[in-house]
Structure 1
Amino acid sequence: MTQETFAALMNKSVRWVEEFEAGRRQADPQLSIIRLAALRLNITLERLLSDPVDAECIEDSEIEAVRRALHRHDVITGSCDDSSAEPLPVEQLYASLTHARLGFQAGHFAQLSGAIPKLLVDTTRAAQRHEGDDRLVSYEVLSLSLELTEAAAIKWGSTELAVIAGHRAVAAAERSENPVIKASAARHLGDAMTNHGQAAEAAEFVLAAARRLEPELLRSGPDGFSVLGMLYLKAAMAAAAAAEADDRNPGQHSRRVPDHLGQAKEQAGRLGGDDNRLWTAFGPTNVSLYTVAAHVQLSEGADALAVAASITPEAFHNLPKERRAHLLADRAHGEMQAGLREEAVATLLDAEELASEEVRCRPRTRTLVENLQLLGAGSAEGRLRALADRCGLPG
């Protein structure tokens, strides 16, 4: 809307609008003026007063572009494509992957749909055409690129696509001959299977990978400790999800959750602190994050909140934005479970400010917003309606 149009709506001069927008007319405008502006703009007062948080959710057509790349003959078979171009140097491939991965950890999920197809084609071509050590490294980058595809697909809510990418990542990792990459791919496939409703099978898979690879991973130093710890964290989440899905004997799964969290904590102790090797963000703090998530999965909201409260502000702020927003979303789930719905809305707004796509675009979090709408949020009702509006949910 132009300043001229807004001035006409407010029955003011353009100069008044310029000074108002620049904060020169009133540092703290009268509420009557803000109410009039909301009325003229046909939006709620809460939406007008909230800080703008940009979020462009991914379109179905963009997910289809990633799906088409995964379904290419050369990408599926690992054969040469029709291009006569030389394979990119492995250093350039890794740089492109790093840029995309950092975007994911910053909470920018939608933009990955443009980077992923090219990564998949370029790394497949490199793995086919490079020789010697460069071929092995190319398979590493191919596997890591497929892992990124899996992780992004989970955020997009396309679990079937995530499972496909996860299976391919494991196959590429085996060809890399690197135990760290094999373990990293296995933990991503376990995550995809859990989100796709195959939690019990996911737990078995990641634990089998941990048993098979543990001796080599312990000899691999910090990278090995990190991915081994992540395998146990994924096992804990898979066991918690399996418990929720098992109506007959949930205890057989839920009893394993503390054991797997303890195994992850042991690896975090070996690591000696929080780190972000292979974009795991693994360490004692991430173990706490997964503990919160496991409690939420088991509908133990009060326990989840107690663990979340134990995470220090310094440790929290040292996490990547995606991890911080994920924790806040889990905390909001725990608050809803504990009957603290007003607090849950405030926590979701904090998560939205950190990584808006985690709240506005991720199906899991949007469902939480819908549930809060059904249950009611007391004095936070206005803020919740504004959040639901930004999520594109019906009022």
Structure 2
Amino acid sequence: MSGFQFGRRVAYWRGRRRMTQAHFAALMGKSLRWVEELEAGRVQANPQLSVMLLAASKLGITVDRLLGDETVGCAGQNELDAVRAALHRHDVITGARGDCDHEPVPVALLSRALVHARNGFQHGHFAQLGTLLPALLVDASQAAHHYRGDAQLEAFRLLSLSLELTEAALIKWGDTETAVLAGHRAVAAAERSEDAVVMASAARHLADAMTNHGQAAKAVAFVTAAADRLQDELLRRGPDGLSVLGMLFLKAAMAQAAAAEADDRHSAVLARAVPDHLAEAAEHAEHLGHDDNRLWTSFGPTNVQLYRVAAHVQLSEGADAVAVAVGIPADAYNGLPPERRAHLLTDRAMGEKQAGLGEQAVATLLEAERLAPEEVRCRPRTRGLVEDLRLLGTGSAEGRLRGLADRCGLPG
């Protein structure tokens, strides 16, 4: 077992036990930083038996259960309910702390918790967010309303980014209505942060939620307005600003493509604007000069190509989507986070289905599953693709598709 797999399973069971990293560190006789590094896979590259035994003991489970496959699963109703409940808590909405007489979580610790959760998302580990996000939302909300001065601005920045992550997870889980709610909250917190980069980041996430919730035309209007308002300041902010500005135009392209697909009367006219938004994003990627992951955007020339694939799929141009996907250089593809690579592969599989390449679509989905199982087995959009492929038939790939459908929990 790799250190990353072991760390992931420790994080899963620690979440199941409602145990903070600090609490687990104390039980293990280690520092908080050690636990953070352990769960990120940066220590115990080849986990020692003594560490496994001690961790299992402190988590109240057997070693076999700690090392088992239970961690690779989908977010269930409990995780969804926990995140929804957190968003509707009085202290999360208002920042009020009641009779609490201790200081809120320091912003440095909030930042560490956010980075840990965000990195998990980019590795395709969505289910564990059901245990990480509620505490993060509570702590960030209370900090944002308690601190003053620069600490408060930073706390609102972290709150906005935490709400963005909540929104992104909800989209993965298929709850677009609550994702829009989280997106509105993220935009409001971003305004309180007075940071144009965070404002743009929140705007691109809200546009994504609106598009997924069937409000594509409104998403185009919102995200382009944000780009117009913030562009000058973002261009002055260097790589961070260029990255989020480019992402605004990528989200505009996807919203425009979805709006075109939904409009029977003006589809062709609306679709003609999609390349314009992609070209704007490509220009900013060229100025950036390389692929980067500022503010977890994965923005750069390669991500622009990923969005070209997705836009072609949205417009039912499957052959074009496959052609763009095949043309992405291997080294650029391999440099992307696992979630981005798996997302590209699922988009490519959709394009292959549209182009009548069912057998190839199955092979592509299996590669995506290898990279990020939850992206394939758990997302409603991908499960729907598996269902479509079963109806259409995939020739010699039928057996492999049946196995994938079983892992997705689809009825036989």
Band the TM-score falls in, shorter-chain normalisation: 0.7 to 0.9
Match of 1:73 in 2: 90
1:386 aligns with 2:403: yes
Match of 1:48 in 2: none
1:279 aligns with 2:326: no
Instruction: Provide the C-alpha distance between the structure 1 equivalents of 2:102 and 2:263, rounded to a whole number of angstroms.
Output: 52
8 Å CA contact 1:56–1:357 kept in 2: the answer is yes
Match of 1:340 in 2: 357
Match of 1:122 in 2: 139
Which of 1 and 2 has higher RCO (CA within 8 Å, sep 6+)? Answer: 1
Instruction: Provide the C-alpha distance between the structure 2 equivalents of 1:82 and 1:338, rounded to a whole number of angstroms.
Output: 61
Q: For residue 312 of structure 2, what is the amino acid of its counterpart? A: H
Match of 1:138 among 146, 149, 155: 155
8 Å CA contact 1:53–1:352 kept in 2: the answer is no
Q: Secondary structure at the match of 1:370?
A: helix
The equivalences for 1:1-395 within 5 A come to 55-395=72-412
Q: For residue 269 of structure 1, what is the amino acid of its counterpart? A: E
Q: Give the alignment's TM-score, normalised by structure 1.
A: 0.86
Post-superposition Cα deviations, 1:319-372, rounded to whole Å, max 9, x if no partner, equal 000000000000000000000000000000000000000000000000000000
Report how far residue 81 of structure 1 moved: 4.1
Post-superposition Cα deviations, 1:176-235, rounded to whole Å, max 9, x if no partner, equal 000000000000000000000000000110000000000000000000000000000000
Report how far residue 83 of structure 1 moved: 2.5
Report how far residue 131 of structure 1 moved: 1.1
Q: For residue 158 of structure 2, what is the amino acid of its counterpart? A: V
Instruction: Provide the C-alpha distance between the structure 2 equivalents of 1:184 and 1:113, rounded to a whole number of angstroms.
Output: 22
8 Å CA contact 1:53–1:356 kept in 2: the answer is no
Report how far residue 98 of structure 1 moved: 0.1
Instruction: Provide the C-alpha distance between the structure 2 equivalents of 1:309 and 1:361, rounded to a whole number of angstroms.
Output: 25
Q: For residue 227 of structure 1, what is the amino acid of its counterpart? A: V
Instruction: Provide the C-alpha distance between the structure 2 equivalents of 1:84 and 1:329, rounded to a whole number of angstroms.
Output: 49
Report how far residue 54 of structure 1 moved: 6.8
Q: For residue 155 of structure 1, what is the amino acid of its counterpart? A: K
Report how far residue 53 of structure 1 moved: 11
Q: Give the alignment's TM-score, normalised by structure 2.
A: 0.82
8 Å CA contact 1:55–1:360 kept in 2: the answer is no
CA change 1:53–1:341 in 2 (3 A) is: farther
Structure of greater Rg: 1
Instruction: Provide the C-alpha distance between the structure 2 equivalents of 1:260 and 1:85, rounded to a whole number of angstroms.
Output: 48
Report how far residue 77 of structure 1 moved: 2.2
Count of matched residue pairs: 344
CA change 1:81–1:172 in 2 (3 A) is: farther
Which runs of 5 or more residues in structure 2 are unaligned? 1-68
Instruction: Provide the C-alpha distance between the structure 1 equivalents of 2:409 and 2:329, rounded to a whole number of angstroms.
Output: 34
Which runs of 5 or more residues in structure 1 are unaligned? 1-51
8 Å CA contact 1:53–1:353 kept in 2: the answer is no
Q: CA RMSD in A?
A: 1.1
Q: For residue 64 of structure 1, what is the amino acid of its counterpart? A: D
Identity %: 69
Q: Secondary structure at the match of 1:299?
A: coil
Runs of 4+ in 1 over 6 A off after TM superposition: none
